[in-house]
Structure 1
Amino acid sequence: MLTLQSVSRHFGGLQVLQDVSFEVPTGGIFGLIGPNGAGKTTVVNLVTGLLPPSSGDILFNGASLVGRPPHQITAGGIARTFQNIRVFKEMTLLENVIVGMHGRLPYGPAGWLLRLPSYRAAERAARDRARELLSWMKLDHKADDIADNLSYGEQRKLELARALATEPRLLLLDEPVAGMNGAEKTELMAEIRNIQARGYTIFMIEHDMRFVMGLCDQIAVLNFGRIIAQGGPDAVRTDPQVIEAYLGRDDEEMPA
Protein backbone atom coordinates (compact mmCIF):
# COMPACT_ATOMS: atom_id res chain seq x y z
CA MET A 1 0.00 0.00 0.00
CA LEU A 2 2.80 2.41 0.92
CA THR A 3 6.24 2.34 -0.72
CA LEU A 4 9.29 4.47 0.01
CA GLN A 5 11.84 4.40 -2.82
CA SER A 6 15.35 5.64 -1.99
CA VAL A 7 13.99 8.51 0.10
CA SER A 8 16.50 10.99 1.53
CA ARG A 9 15.96 14.14 3.54
CA HIS A 10 18.51 16.72 4.62
CA PHE A 11 18.26 19.96 6.55
CA GLY A 12 21.09 22.09 5.25
CA GLY A 13 24.20 19.97 5.76
CA LEU A 14 22.48 17.53 8.12
CA GLN A 15 21.50 14.28 6.40
CA VAL A 16 18.54 12.92 8.40
CA LEU A 17 17.47 10.13 6.02
CA GLN A 18 19.63 8.37 3.45
CA ASP A 19 18.19 6.17 0.70
CA VAL A 20 15.36 4.79 2.85
CA SER A 21 13.32 2.11 1.09
CA PHE A 22 10.60 -0.18 2.43
CA GLU A 23 7.05 -1.34 1.67
CA VAL A 24 4.01 -1.42 3.94
CA PRO A 25 1.82 -4.34 2.81
CA THR A 26 -1.93 -3.89 2.49
CA GLY A 27 -3.86 -5.16 5.50
CA GLY A 28 -0.84 -5.63 7.76
CA ILE A 29 0.67 -3.94 10.79
CA PHE A 30 4.10 -2.55 9.89
CA GLY A 31 6.52 -1.15 12.46
CA LEU A 32 9.42 1.26 12.01
CA ILE A 33 11.78 1.23 14.98
CA GLY A 34 15.12 2.77 15.84
CA PRO A 35 17.01 4.75 18.48
CA ASN A 36 16.18 8.34 19.34
CA GLY A 37 17.21 10.61 16.49
CA ALA A 38 17.17 7.82 13.91
CA GLY A 39 14.72 9.76 11.70
CA LYS A 40 11.48 7.87 12.38
CA THR A 41 9.21 10.90 12.85
CA THR A 42 10.79 12.51 9.79
CA VAL A 43 9.58 9.51 7.77
CA VAL A 44 6.02 10.01 9.01
CA ASN A 45 6.20 13.75 8.29
CA LEU A 46 7.34 12.99 4.73
CA VAL A 47 4.51 10.51 4.16
CA THR A 48 1.88 12.95 5.44
CA GLY A 49 3.18 15.90 3.43
CA LEU A 50 4.46 18.00 6.33
CA LEU A 51 7.93 17.80 4.78
CA PRO A 52 9.08 17.15 1.19
CA PRO A 53 11.79 14.56 0.54
CA SER A 54 15.10 15.89 -0.73
CA SER A 55 15.17 12.96 -3.16
CA GLY A 56 13.36 9.70 -3.82
CA ASP A 57 9.67 8.94 -4.10
CA ILE A 58 6.79 7.98 -1.81
CA LEU A 59 3.96 5.97 -3.37
CA PHE A 60 0.51 5.31 -1.96
CA ASN A 61 -1.33 2.63 -3.91
CA GLY A 62 1.04 3.30 -6.79
CA ALA A 63 0.54 7.09 -6.92
CA SER A 64 3.24 9.51 -5.80
CA LEU A 65 2.57 11.62 -2.69
CA VAL A 66 5.49 13.97 -3.32
CA GLY A 67 4.33 17.56 -3.71
CA ARG A 68 0.84 16.95 -2.36
CA PRO A 69 -0.29 19.12 0.59
CA PRO A 70 -1.32 17.39 3.84
CA HIS A 71 -5.07 17.93 3.37
CA GLN A 72 -4.97 16.17 0.00
CA ILE A 73 -3.04 13.26 1.48
CA THR A 74 -5.61 12.95 4.27
CA ALA A 75 -8.47 13.11 1.78
CA GLY A 76 -6.71 10.42 -0.26
CA GLY A 77 -6.88 7.95 2.60
CA ILE A 78 -4.00 8.48 5.04
CA ALA A 79 -4.54 9.51 8.68
CA ARG A 80 -2.09 9.88 11.55
CA THR A 81 -1.86 10.31 15.28
CA PHE A 82 0.92 12.24 17.01
CA GLN A 83 3.42 11.41 19.72
CA ASN A 84 2.03 14.24 21.85
CA ILE A 85 -1.72 13.99 22.50
CA ARG A 86 -3.69 16.49 20.42
CA VAL A 87 -7.32 16.24 21.48
CA PHE A 88 -9.66 19.21 21.90
CA LYS A 89 -9.87 19.01 25.66
CA GLU A 90 -12.83 21.37 26.13
CA MET A 91 -14.98 19.48 23.61
CA THR A 92 -16.88 16.27 24.19
CA LEU A 93 -15.60 12.97 22.89
CA LEU A 94 -18.38 12.96 20.30
CA GLU A 95 -17.44 16.44 19.10
CA ASN A 96 -13.75 15.48 18.89
CA VAL A 97 -14.55 12.58 16.57
CA ILE A 98 -16.98 14.58 14.43
CA VAL A 99 -14.24 17.16 13.84
CA GLY A 100 -12.35 14.44 11.99
CA MET A 101 -15.28 13.94 9.61
CA HIS A 102 -15.95 17.46 8.44
CA GLY A 103 -13.73 17.22 5.39
CA ARG A 104 -16.02 14.47 4.10
CA LEU A 105 -19.47 15.75 5.09
CA PRO A 106 -21.60 16.31 1.95
CA TYR A 107 -22.78 19.86 2.46
CA GLY A 108 -21.42 23.33 1.88
CA PRO A 109 -21.64 26.66 3.73
CA ALA A 110 -25.17 27.30 2.46
CA GLY A 111 -26.41 24.01 3.89
CA TRP A 112 -24.85 24.82 7.25
CA LEU A 113 -26.15 28.39 7.39
CA LEU A 114 -29.69 27.51 6.29
CA ARG A 115 -29.84 24.19 8.16
CA LEU A 116 -31.06 22.48 5.01
CA PRO A 117 -32.37 18.88 5.14
CA SER A 118 -29.12 17.66 3.58
CA TYR A 119 -27.17 19.28 6.41
CA ARG A 120 -29.37 17.78 9.13
CA ALA A 121 -29.17 14.31 7.57
CA ALA A 122 -25.39 14.51 7.24
CA GLU A 123 -25.02 15.64 10.85
CA ARG A 124 -27.16 12.75 12.09
CA ALA A 125 -25.08 10.30 10.07
CA ALA A 126 -21.87 11.85 11.42
CA ARG A 127 -23.04 11.52 15.02
CA ASP A 128 -24.02 7.89 14.45
CA ARG A 129 -20.64 7.12 12.88
CA ALA A 130 -18.81 8.94 15.68
CA ARG A 131 -20.59 6.85 18.30
CA GLU A 132 -19.72 3.71 16.37
CA LEU A 133 -16.02 4.65 16.28
CA LEU A 134 -16.08 5.45 20.00
CA SER A 135 -17.60 2.04 20.61
CA TRP A 136 -14.63 0.46 18.80
CA MET A 137 -12.41 2.13 21.41
CA LYS A 138 -14.83 1.23 24.24
CA LEU A 139 -15.48 4.94 24.87
CA ASP A 140 -19.07 5.22 23.66
CA HIS A 141 -20.39 5.35 27.23
CA LYS A 142 -18.42 8.60 27.66
CA ALA A 143 -19.43 10.15 24.33
CA ASP A 144 -20.88 13.27 25.97
CA ASP A 145 -18.08 13.72 28.51
CA ILE A 146 -15.47 16.45 28.15
CA ALA A 147 -12.23 15.05 26.72
CA ASP A 148 -10.14 16.67 29.45
CA ASN A 149 -11.79 14.33 31.97
CA LEU A 150 -10.37 11.22 30.29
CA SER A 151 -7.37 9.30 31.54
CA TYR A 152 -4.16 9.50 29.52
CA GLY A 153 -4.79 6.11 27.90
CA GLU A 154 -8.37 7.04 27.04
CA GLN A 155 -7.20 10.24 25.36
CA ARG A 156 -4.87 8.13 23.21
CA LYS A 157 -7.81 5.96 22.17
CA LEU A 158 -9.90 9.07 21.45
CA GLU A 159 -7.16 10.22 19.07
CA LEU A 160 -7.41 6.89 17.28
CA ALA A 161 -11.18 7.25 16.93
CA ARG A 162 -10.78 10.76 15.50
CA ALA A 163 -8.13 9.57 13.02
CA LEU A 164 -10.47 6.78 11.90
CA ALA A 165 -13.20 9.37 11.37
CA THR A 166 -11.34 10.60 8.28
CA GLU A 167 -12.07 7.17 6.72
CA PRO A 168 -8.44 6.29 6.01
CA ARG A 169 -7.09 3.23 4.30
CA LEU A 170 -3.70 3.68 5.99
CA LEU A 171 -3.39 4.66 9.65
CA LEU A 172 -0.04 6.09 10.81
CA LEU A 173 0.64 5.88 14.55
CA ASP A 174 3.47 7.98 15.99
CA GLU A 175 4.54 6.26 19.24
CA PRO A 176 0.99 5.26 20.24
CA VAL A 177 1.91 3.89 23.69
CA ALA A 178 4.23 6.71 24.78
CA GLY A 179 3.51 7.46 28.43
CA MET A 180 1.14 4.53 28.94
CA ASN A 181 1.27 2.03 31.77
CA GLY A 182 1.31 -1.73 31.18
CA ALA A 183 -2.45 -2.22 31.40
CA GLU A 184 -3.12 0.64 28.98
CA LYS A 185 -0.60 -0.79 26.52
CA THR A 186 -2.31 -4.18 26.63
CA GLU A 187 -5.70 -2.59 26.00
CA LEU A 188 -4.40 -0.52 23.09
CA MET A 189 -2.71 -3.53 21.52
CA ALA A 190 -6.09 -5.28 21.45
CA GLU A 191 -7.77 -2.20 19.95
CA ILE A 192 -5.14 -1.92 17.21
CA ARG A 193 -5.60 -5.58 16.33
CA ASN A 194 -9.36 -4.97 16.13
CA ILE A 195 -8.79 -2.03 13.80
CA GLN A 196 -6.64 -4.21 11.54
CA ALA A 197 -9.32 -6.91 11.55
CA ARG A 198 -11.79 -4.33 10.23
CA GLY A 199 -9.69 -3.95 7.08
CA TYR A 200 -7.30 -1.11 7.89
CA THR A 201 -3.57 -1.06 7.18
CA ILE A 202 -1.42 0.22 10.04
CA PHE A 203 2.06 1.75 9.99
CA MET A 204 3.53 2.67 13.36
CA ILE A 205 6.73 4.02 14.82
CA GLU A 206 7.34 3.08 18.44
CA HIS A 207 10.06 2.74 21.07
CA ASP A 208 8.44 0.00 23.14
CA MET A 209 10.08 -3.11 21.73
CA ARG A 210 7.78 -5.61 23.43
CA PHE A 211 4.78 -3.76 22.01
CA VAL A 212 6.20 -3.72 18.48
CA MET A 213 7.40 -7.33 18.55
CA GLY A 214 4.05 -8.52 19.87
CA LEU A 215 1.95 -6.63 17.36
CA CYS A 216 3.71 -6.04 14.03
CA ASP A 217 3.81 -8.48 11.10
CA GLN A 218 6.81 -6.76 9.49
CA ILE A 219 9.41 -4.42 10.97
CA ALA A 220 12.06 -2.10 9.53
CA VAL A 221 14.89 -0.79 11.66
CA LEU A 222 16.25 2.72 11.13
CA ASN A 223 19.63 3.79 12.49
CA PHE A 224 21.40 7.09 11.69
CA GLY A 225 18.92 7.66 8.86
CA ARG A 226 19.48 4.31 7.14
CA ILE A 227 17.50 1.07 7.09
CA ILE A 228 19.75 -1.58 8.66
CA ALA A 229 17.29 -4.50 8.86
CA GLN A 230 13.83 -5.57 7.68
CA GLY A 231 11.67 -8.62 8.21
CA GLY A 232 9.44 -10.37 10.70
CA PRO A 233 9.84 -9.94 14.48
CA ASP A 234 11.99 -13.07 14.89
CA ALA A 235 14.39 -12.05 12.14
CA VAL A 236 14.72 -8.49 13.44
CA ARG A 237 15.23 -9.41 17.10
CA THR A 238 18.13 -11.70 16.19
CA ASP A 239 19.80 -9.45 13.60
CA PRO A 240 23.33 -8.61 14.81
CA GLN A 241 23.14 -5.00 13.55
CA VAL A 242 19.88 -4.44 15.42
CA ILE A 243 21.24 -5.97 18.61
CA GLU A 244 24.26 -3.70 18.46
CA ALA A 245 22.62 -0.48 17.27
CA TYR A 246 19.29 -0.55 19.06
CA LEU A 247 18.92 -3.30 21.62
CA GLY A 248 22.45 -3.50 22.98
CA ARG A 249 24.88 -6.38 22.91
CA ASP A 250 23.44 -8.34 25.85
CA ASP A 251 21.14 -11.02 24.43
CA GLU A 252 19.42 -11.27 27.80
CA GLU A 253 17.89 -7.85 27.16
CA MET A 254 16.07 -9.09 24.05
CA PRO A 255 12.28 -9.14 24.40
CA ALA A 256 10.69 -12.56 24.61
Structure 2
Amino acid sequence: MLQLKGISKNFGGLHVLQDVNFNVAQGSIFGLIGPNGAGKTTIINLITGLLRPSSGDIQFNGQDLTSVQPHQITKLGIARTFQNIRIFKEMTLLENVIVGMHDHLNYGIAGILLNLASFKSAEAKSKARALELLSWVRLDHKAHMLADNLSYGEQRKLEFARALATEPKLLLLDEPVAGMNPAEKTELMAEIVNIKQRGFTIFMIEHDMRFVMELCEKIAVLNFGKIIAEGPPAEIRSDPAVIEAYLGKEDEAWE
Protein backbone atom coordinates (compact mmCIF):
# COMPACT_ATOMS: atom_id res chain seq x y z
CA MET A 1 0.00 0.00 0.00
CA LEU A 2 2.76 2.45 0.96
CA GLN A 3 6.25 2.46 -0.51
CA LEU A 4 9.18 4.75 0.25
CA LYS A 5 11.99 4.53 -2.32
CA GLY A 6 15.31 6.28 -1.83
CA ILE A 7 13.88 9.00 0.39
CA SER A 8 16.33 11.66 1.58
CA LYS A 9 15.56 14.92 3.36
CA ASN A 10 17.99 17.76 3.94
CA PHE A 11 17.51 20.96 5.87
CA GLY A 12 20.34 23.08 4.54
CA GLY A 13 23.50 21.14 5.36
CA LEU A 14 21.71 18.85 7.82
CA HIS A 15 20.95 15.39 6.35
CA VAL A 16 17.94 14.19 8.35
CA LEU A 17 17.08 11.19 6.15
CA GLN A 18 19.39 9.30 3.81
CA ASP A 19 18.16 6.79 1.21
CA VAL A 20 15.23 5.44 3.25
CA ASN A 21 13.41 2.46 1.75
CA PHE A 22 10.54 0.39 3.15
CA ASN A 23 7.11 -0.98 2.24
CA VAL A 24 3.90 -1.14 4.27
CA ALA A 25 1.59 -3.97 3.25
CA GLN A 26 -2.16 -3.45 3.05
CA GLY A 27 -3.99 -4.63 6.17
CA SER A 28 -0.87 -4.73 8.33
CA ILE A 29 0.38 -2.93 11.43
CA PHE A 30 3.83 -1.55 10.62
CA GLY A 31 6.13 0.04 13.20
CA LEU A 32 8.99 2.49 12.76
CA ILE A 33 11.30 2.82 15.75
CA GLY A 34 14.48 4.72 16.48
CA PRO A 35 16.05 7.11 18.98
CA ASN A 36 15.02 10.73 19.36
CA GLY A 37 16.19 12.77 16.41
CA ALA A 38 16.44 9.77 14.09
CA GLY A 39 13.94 11.31 11.66
CA LYS A 40 10.78 9.33 12.41
CA THR A 41 8.33 12.25 12.55
CA THR A 42 9.99 13.73 9.47
CA ILE A 43 8.95 10.57 7.61
CA ILE A 44 5.31 11.00 8.67
CA ASN A 45 5.45 14.67 7.64
CA LEU A 46 6.78 13.61 4.23
CA ILE A 47 4.06 10.99 3.77
CA THR A 48 1.32 13.51 4.63
CA GLY A 49 2.74 16.27 2.42
CA LEU A 50 3.74 18.67 5.18
CA LEU A 51 7.31 18.33 3.93
CA ARG A 52 8.77 17.49 0.51
CA PRO A 53 11.61 14.98 0.10
CA SER A 54 14.94 16.24 -1.17
CA SER A 55 15.08 13.09 -3.31
CA GLY A 56 13.22 9.81 -3.73
CA ASP A 57 9.61 8.73 -4.24
CA ILE A 58 6.64 8.03 -1.98
CA GLN A 59 3.97 5.81 -3.52
CA PHE A 60 0.51 5.22 -2.06
CA ASN A 61 -1.53 2.57 -3.89
CA GLY A 62 0.66 3.23 -6.91
CA GLN A 63 0.23 7.01 -6.86
CA ASP A 64 3.19 9.34 -6.40
CA LEU A 65 2.67 11.59 -3.35
CA THR A 66 5.79 13.72 -3.61
CA SER A 67 4.00 16.69 -5.21
CA VAL A 68 0.50 16.21 -3.73
CA GLN A 69 -0.90 18.77 -1.27
CA PRO A 70 -1.78 17.66 2.30
CA HIS A 71 -5.56 18.06 1.87
CA GLN A 72 -5.40 16.00 -1.34
CA ILE A 73 -3.43 13.28 0.46
CA THR A 74 -6.20 13.15 3.07
CA LYS A 75 -8.77 12.67 0.31
CA LEU A 76 -6.67 9.85 -1.15
CA GLY A 77 -7.07 7.98 2.14
CA ILE A 78 -4.27 8.85 4.56
CA ALA A 79 -4.97 10.20 8.05
CA ARG A 80 -2.70 10.85 11.02
CA THR A 81 -2.61 11.55 14.70
CA PHE A 82 0.01 13.70 16.41
CA GLN A 83 2.45 13.10 19.24
CA ASN A 84 0.86 16.03 21.08
CA ILE A 85 -2.91 15.52 21.19
CA ARG A 86 -4.79 18.02 19.03
CA ILE A 87 -8.48 17.90 19.80
CA PHE A 88 -11.03 20.68 20.27
CA LYS A 89 -11.46 20.58 24.03
CA GLU A 90 -14.32 23.11 24.07
CA MET A 91 -16.39 20.88 21.77
CA THR A 92 -18.18 17.62 22.52
CA LEU A 93 -16.78 14.27 21.46
CA LEU A 94 -19.49 14.01 18.81
CA GLU A 95 -18.62 17.43 17.40
CA ASN A 96 -14.91 16.59 17.35
CA VAL A 97 -15.53 13.50 15.22
CA ILE A 98 -17.93 15.30 12.87
CA VAL A 99 -15.23 17.91 12.23
CA GLY A 100 -13.14 15.09 10.78
CA MET A 101 -15.86 14.40 8.21
CA HIS A 102 -15.85 17.83 6.58
CA ASP A 103 -14.44 16.56 3.28
CA HIS A 104 -17.25 14.01 3.02
CA LEU A 105 -20.26 16.14 3.97
CA ASN A 106 -22.45 16.83 0.93
CA TYR A 107 -24.15 20.06 1.84
CA GLY A 108 -23.17 23.65 1.23
CA ILE A 109 -23.69 26.97 2.97
CA ALA A 110 -27.09 27.38 1.34
CA GLY A 111 -28.27 24.08 2.74
CA ILE A 112 -27.23 25.12 6.23
CA LEU A 113 -28.74 28.61 6.05
CA LEU A 114 -32.01 27.41 4.52
CA ASN A 115 -32.16 24.24 6.62
CA LEU A 116 -32.79 22.20 3.48
CA ALA A 117 -33.73 18.53 3.52
CA SER A 118 -30.31 17.64 2.09
CA PHE A 119 -28.63 19.32 5.04
CA LYS A 120 -30.90 17.57 7.58
CA SER A 121 -30.25 14.19 5.98
CA ALA A 122 -26.48 14.68 5.81
CA GLU A 123 -26.39 15.95 9.39
CA ALA A 124 -28.27 12.89 10.64
CA LYS A 125 -25.93 10.56 8.75
CA SER A 126 -22.84 12.32 10.06
CA LYS A 127 -24.06 12.08 13.66
CA ALA A 128 -24.84 8.38 13.24
CA ARG A 129 -21.40 7.72 11.72
CA ALA A 130 -19.68 9.74 14.47
CA LEU A 131 -21.45 7.68 17.13
CA GLU A 132 -20.40 4.50 15.36
CA LEU A 133 -16.74 5.59 15.32
CA LEU A 134 -16.92 6.57 18.99
CA SER A 135 -18.31 3.11 19.74
CA TRP A 136 -15.25 1.58 18.06
CA VAL A 137 -13.06 3.22 20.71
CA ARG A 138 -15.69 2.71 23.44
CA LEU A 139 -16.46 6.39 23.95
CA ASP A 140 -20.00 6.54 22.53
CA HIS A 141 -21.46 6.77 26.03
CA LYS A 142 -19.62 10.09 26.43
CA ALA A 143 -20.55 11.48 23.01
CA HIS A 144 -22.16 14.67 24.37
CA MET A 145 -19.48 15.36 26.98
CA LEU A 146 -16.93 18.13 26.42
CA ALA A 147 -13.62 16.71 25.25
CA ASP A 148 -11.84 18.70 27.97
CA ASN A 149 -13.42 16.42 30.59
CA LEU A 150 -11.81 13.25 29.22
CA SER A 151 -8.80 11.53 30.71
CA TYR A 152 -5.54 11.64 28.75
CA GLY A 153 -6.05 8.13 27.40
CA GLU A 154 -9.63 8.90 26.36
CA GLN A 155 -8.47 12.05 24.56
CA ARG A 156 -6.01 9.92 22.59
CA LYS A 157 -8.80 7.52 21.62
CA LEU A 158 -10.99 10.46 20.58
CA GLU A 159 -8.19 11.62 18.31
CA PHE A 160 -8.20 8.15 16.71
CA ALA A 161 -11.95 8.34 16.11
CA ARG A 162 -11.63 11.78 14.51
CA ALA A 163 -8.83 10.54 12.23
CA LEU A 164 -11.00 7.60 11.20
CA ALA A 165 -13.79 10.04 10.34
CA THR A 166 -11.80 11.09 7.27
CA GLU A 167 -12.44 7.57 5.92
CA PRO A 168 -8.74 6.67 5.56
CA LYS A 169 -7.22 3.55 4.09
CA LEU A 170 -3.97 4.18 5.98
CA LEU A 171 -3.77 5.53 9.54
CA LEU A 172 -0.48 7.08 10.70
CA LEU A 173 0.06 7.14 14.46
CA ASP A 174 2.78 9.40 15.92
CA GLU A 175 3.75 7.94 19.32
CA PRO A 176 0.20 6.87 20.25
CA VAL A 177 0.98 5.77 23.81
CA ALA A 178 3.22 8.68 24.82
CA GLY A 179 2.32 9.73 28.37
CA MET A 180 -0.06 6.81 29.00
CA ASN A 181 -0.10 4.56 32.05
CA PRO A 182 0.06 0.74 31.61
CA ALA A 183 -3.72 0.26 31.79
CA GLU A 184 -4.31 2.93 29.14
CA LYS A 185 -1.67 1.34 26.91
CA THR A 186 -3.38 -2.05 27.17
CA GLU A 187 -6.74 -0.51 26.28
CA LEU A 188 -5.29 1.36 23.33
CA MET A 189 -3.58 -1.76 22.02
CA ALA A 190 -6.96 -3.48 21.93
CA GLU A 191 -8.48 -0.50 20.09
CA ILE A 192 -5.72 -0.54 17.46
CA VAL A 193 -6.18 -4.27 16.88
CA ASN A 194 -9.92 -3.65 16.55
CA ILE A 195 -9.33 -0.92 13.98
CA LYS A 196 -6.96 -3.14 12.00
CA GLN A 197 -9.52 -5.96 11.99
CA ARG A 198 -12.02 -3.56 10.42
CA GLY A 199 -9.80 -3.35 7.34
CA PHE A 200 -7.50 -0.43 8.07
CA THR A 201 -3.74 -0.38 7.56
CA ILE A 202 -1.73 1.17 10.40
CA PHE A 203 1.73 2.75 10.38
CA MET A 204 3.08 3.87 13.73
CA ILE A 205 6.18 5.37 15.27
CA GLU A 206 6.62 4.65 18.95
CA HIS A 207 9.24 4.52 21.73
CA ASP A 208 7.51 1.91 23.90
CA MET A 209 9.26 -1.26 22.78
CA ARG A 210 6.91 -3.68 24.51
CA PHE A 211 3.95 -2.01 22.80
CA VAL A 212 5.62 -2.16 19.37
CA MET A 213 6.84 -5.74 19.75
CA GLU A 214 3.43 -7.05 20.81
CA LEU A 215 1.42 -5.14 18.23
CA CYS A 216 3.38 -4.74 14.98
CA GLU A 217 3.79 -7.45 12.36
CA LYS A 218 6.79 -5.76 10.77
CA ILE A 219 9.21 -3.17 12.14
CA ALA A 220 11.81 -0.90 10.55
CA VAL A 221 14.58 0.67 12.63
CA LEU A 222 15.83 4.17 11.85
CA ASN A 223 19.17 5.39 13.19
CA PHE A 224 20.83 8.67 12.20
CA GLY A 225 18.43 8.98 9.25
CA LYS A 226 19.13 5.51 7.83
CA ILE A 227 17.21 2.24 8.00
CA ILE A 228 19.50 -0.24 9.77
CA ALA A 229 17.09 -3.18 10.06
CA GLU A 230 13.65 -4.28 8.89
CA GLY A 231 11.65 -7.41 9.63
CA PRO A 232 9.26 -9.12 12.08
CA PRO A 233 9.60 -8.36 15.81
CA ALA A 234 11.58 -11.51 16.60
CA GLU A 235 14.28 -10.57 14.09
CA ILE A 236 14.43 -6.95 15.22
CA ARG A 237 14.66 -7.98 18.85
CA SER A 238 17.76 -10.10 18.22
CA ASP A 239 19.45 -7.95 15.57
CA PRO A 240 22.91 -6.99 16.90
CA ALA A 241 22.96 -3.66 15.05
CA VAL A 242 19.61 -2.68 16.57
CA ILE A 243 20.63 -3.71 20.08
CA GLU A 244 23.87 -1.78 19.91
CA ALA A 245 22.72 1.31 18.03
CA TYR A 246 19.30 1.79 19.60
CA LEU A 247 18.98 -0.11 22.85
CA GLY A 248 22.52 -0.55 24.06
CA LYS A 249 23.82 -4.00 24.88
CA GLU A 250 21.36 -4.96 27.62
CA ASP A 251 18.44 -7.12 26.51
CA GLU A 252 16.46 -5.80 29.51
CA ALA A 253 15.78 -2.73 27.39
CA TRP A 254 13.11 -4.74 25.56
CA GLU A 255 11.28 -5.60 28.75
TM superposition shift of 1:113: 2.0
Q: Which residue of 2 aligns with 1:198?
A: 198
Q: Which residue of 1 aligns with 2:214?
A: 214
CA distance, structure 1, for counterparts of residue 137 and residue 157 of structure 2: 6
TM superposition shift of 1:112: 1.9
Q: TM-score, normalised by structure 2?
A: 0.99
Matched residue type, 1:122: A
Q: Which residue of 2 aligns with 1:164?
A: 164
SS of residue paired to 2:102: coil
RMSD of aligned Cα (Å): 0.7
CA distance, structure 2, for counterparts of residue 54 and residue 11 of structure 1: 9
TM superposition shift of 1:103: 1.0
CA distance, structure 2, for counterparts of residue 254 and residue 160 of structure 1: 26
SS of residue paired to 1:6: strand
Q: Which residue of 2 aligns with 1:145?
A: 145
SS of residue paired to 1:27: coil
Q: Which residue of 2 aligns with 1:252?
A: 252
TM superposition shift of 1:49: 0.3
Deviations 1:187-232 (A, max 9, x none): 0000000000000000000000000000000000000000000000
CA distance, structure 1, for counterparts of residue 23 and residue 110 of structure 2: 43
Q: TM-score, normalised by structure 1?
A: 0.99
CA distance, structure 2, for counterparts of residue 248 and residue 230 of structure 1: 18
Q: Which residue of 2 aligns with 1:84?
A: 84
C-alpha contact 2:210 2:254 (8 A) present in aligned 1: no
Number of equivalent positions = 255
CA distance, structure 1, for counterparts of residue 40 and residue 213 of structure 2: 17
CA distance, structure 2, for counterparts of residue 176 and residue 252 of structure 1: 23
Matched, 1:40 2:40: yes
Matched residue type, 2:191: E
Gaps of 5+ in 2: none
SS of residue paired to 2:17: strand
Matched residue type, 2:74: T
Matched residue type, 1:46: L
CA distance, structure 2, for counterparts of residue 37 and residue 54 of structure 1: 18
CA distance, structure 2, for counterparts of residue 251 and residue 135 of structure 1: 39
CA distance, structure 2, for counterparts of residue 120 and residue 165 of structure 1: 19
Q: Which residue of 2 aligns with 1:239?
A: 239
Gaps of 5+ in 1: none
Fraction of identical pairs, as percent: 73
Deviations 1:127-161 (A, max 9, x none): 00000000111100000000000000000000000
CA distance, structure 2, for counterparts of residue 252 and residue 140 of structure 1: 39
CA distance, structure 2, for counterparts of residue 84 and residue 21 of structure 1: 27
Q: Which residue of 1 aligns with 2:30?
A: 30
Matches within 5 A, 1:95-174: 95-174=95-174
CA distance, structure 2, for counterparts of residue 52 and residue 185 of structure 1: 33
| Deviating more after overlay: 104-113 vs 173-182 | 104-113
SS of residue paired to 1:32: strand
TM superposition shift of 1:9: 0.2
SS of residue paired to 1:236: helix
